[in-house]
Amino acid sequence: MIPFAQYVHGLAGDDDLVSLDGPFDVPVDVLAGEALRASGPALRFDRPDGIDLASGVFSGADLMQRRDARPWSRLSLGLGLDPEATLVALLETISDLGPVGGHPEPTYTGQSASGTDADVQDLGFPQGEHDTWPVMTLGIASVSTADGTHWAPIHGSVVSGDKLRVRVPDALPSLVSEGATITIALGVPPAAITTAYLLTVTERVDTPIQSCGVAGTVPLVPTNGGLVPSTTEVVVEATIADRQPDFRSDRREAWEYVVESGALSLSVERVLATDEPVVPVSPVGRPLADDLQLTGLTTAAALYHRVNNYWGISPVEWLLVPAEAELGICVVASDILYAGFEWQLANILFSFSSLFDTVVVVDEDVPPHDFGRVLADIWLKAHPARDWTFSDPDAPAATRPRYRRDGETGSRLYVNAAWDPRWEDTYIAPRVTFENSFPSVVRDTAQALWAEYDAN
């Protein structure tokens, strides 16, 4: 388990984080959004008059561009993996943070956030170009029930020094009554926020974290609301003042496309912060935002786990719901077990998720970090007539795309960009690659030559 502040420090040590000193004449979310759009490093906003902010820490390099680093290397590091870890290793690690069927023994330690600040406005949350109030993003809401503590993502606005308006999954307030206490944890270990997202996208918010793998990974501390990670940078304890406030959020975090969400009005009771707090922010609504990446990767982890436990064997090599497509497409690499398997696979994915209307099936040997090949194979290996397959227009609309929001049914599409298993091997065109196109003696000579001249 890596505390958030230590994680941010580690990114800087890996030259994957750039610090910016305030004051900022450009809204933080615009700076964060432009850095992500440019596939740049994570950013730390150093602010002497408030908490420090960090953006892009749960995101990564744009899959549309070839990079030396794995696109998901930042989250891999945050979850204790090697930055070169495979996508599958990351997906499995994410799955392991969720419900485990047992009761891992939680570790309890003292709370790092000990300084008190009565006024939540003093924390200086950022305000976007079009925001009415300062916003908080990438928080964890923690509530306590007889079953244990429940976590879910939370984001919202600072309306006054002691009043917040927030959005949470509908499943969370239904666990507690009006007037109940709730804690918002900001700047939690990557494992903790990933768990909150995972429980949400799998609609398991009612599962106490004491029954999840994260409890064995992240040391916890009790608060007025529920357990939170002991290394949390900022802890906001509050009560639920209104379960149905007349309030419409300016922003919508990406997990809200997966589950129903609602607004709450909260009265802040106490604010705790570490000595030099740093909390994550997401440029919500902008391309490749942190909340988009977390939603995409946790959804992918859940889908990967489900499809590989469906047929008795595990044919799926990897699966992505890429933030680059803003979660509107699912890409799956699989062994095509038999003719028509790609149809089954696509439709299982449609059954397991309502996010997307389009599934792209690629061959198992396509590596997930070579997304450029996926973006080529869609058009090269899929016959324009035979391999773009549309369902009858009787399916409910997917939640992420912008079209068909009128409640009407429509079609789903899967693109079969994998070789047809009925084809003989001689039908299958070999790829032009360095390994395929040259014998080993030529490869050795070329590599030696290139190493010599490229170095000059």
Partner 1 sequence: MSVDSFRDYLDSLEETGWTRTVEQPVSWDLEASAVTMLANLRDGPIPVFESIAGLETETTLVGDPYRGPRARPWEHFARALGFSDGLSGRTYYDRVIDRLHTPTEPRVVDQRDAPCKTTIRTGDDVDLLSFPWPYIHEGDGGRYSNLHTIVAPDPDTEWGRWSSHRMMLHDDSQASLLLLAGEQVPNRYYYDYEPRDEPMPIAVVVGAEPTVECTADMWIPTGRSEAAFAGGLKDAPVDLVECETSDLYVPATAELVLEGHVRPGDRLDEGPFGDYFGYMNGPRRSMPVFEVDAITHRQEPRLPFCVEGTGVGYGQNSSSTLRVAAAGPDATVGLRAAGFDVELAVPWRFTSRTVWVISTERPYPGYLHELANFIFTTWGMLHIDFFVFVDPDVDPLDPRAVLSAIALDADPDADFHQFGVERMPKVPLNIYQTPDEKGSADVGTSKAKTAKAYIDATTDGDPVESTAAAETRKRAQERLVEAGLDPAQFDRLDEREGESR
Q: Which stretch binds partner 1 (CB under 8 A): 1-9, 102-110, 168-176, 447-455?
A: 447-455
Q: What's the min distance (Å) between Cβ of 372 and partner 1? A: 4
Positions in 36-55 near partner 1 (CB under 8 A): 37-41
Q: What is the dihedral of CA 10, 12, 15, 18, to 10 degrees?
A: 150
Q: Contact with partner 1 (CB under 8 A): which of 263, 325, 365, 406?
A: 325
Binding mask 3-22 for partner 1 (x = CB under 8 A): ---------------xxx--
Distance CA 410, CA 403 (A): 10
Binding residue (CB under 8 A) for partner 1 from 118, 313, 339, 442: 442
Helix intervals (H) in 99-188: none
Residues 319 and 297: beta-carbon distance below 8 Å = no
Q: Is 339 in the site for partner 1 (CB under 8 A)?
A: no
Q: Which is nearer to partner 1, 37 or 204 (CB)?
A: 37
Q: Three-state SS for 342? A: helix
Helix (H, G, I), strand (E, B) or coil at 76: helix
Beta strand pairing call for 413-417 and 358-363: parallel
Separation of alpha carbons 293 and 282, rounded Å:
10
Among 126, 139, 156, 401, binds partner 1 (CB under 8 A): 401
Give dist(CA 320, CA 299) in Å, integer: 8
Q: Stretches 79-87, 163-171, 190-198, 443-451: which one binds partner 1 (CB under 8 A)?
A: 443-451
Q: Shortest gap between Cβ of 386 and partner 1 (angstroms)?
A: 8
Cα–Cα–Cα angle for 35, 3, 52, nearest 5°? Answer: 45
285, 304, 307, 318: which one binds partner 1 (CB under 8 A): 285
Concatenate the DSSP letters of all residues of 192-222 into one string.
HHHHHHHHHHTT-TTS-GGGBGGGGTS-EE-
From the list 118, 313, 339, 380, which residue makes contact with partner 1 (rule: CB under 8 A)? 380
Tell me how far the alpha carbon of residue 59 is from its chain's centroid. 8
Cβ-based nearer residue to partner 1, 151 or 356:
356
Q: How many residues bind partner 1 (CB under 8 A)?
A: 85
Judged by beta carbon, residue 145 or residue 437, the one nearer partner 1 is: 437
The DSSP element (H or E) to which 307 belongs, if any, is helix 290-307
Question: Measured from the CB atom, is 313 or 376 closer to partner 1?
Answer: 376
**Choice between 10 and 367, CB closer to partner 1:** 367
The C-alpha R_g of the chain, in whole angstroms, comes to 23
Q: State the Cα–Cα distance between residues 342 and 325, nearest whole angstrom.
A: 21
Task: Mark residues 123-162: x for contact with partner 1 by CB under 8 A, - for none.
Answer: ------x---------------------------------
> Which residue's CB is nearer to partner 1, number 92 or number 420?
420
CB 261 within 8 A of CB 168: yes
Interface with partner 1, residue 385, by CB under 8 A: yes
Interface with partner 1, residue 357, by CB under 8 A: yes
Residues 403-432 that bind partner 1 (CB under 8 A): 403-404, 410-413, 423, 426-427, 429-432
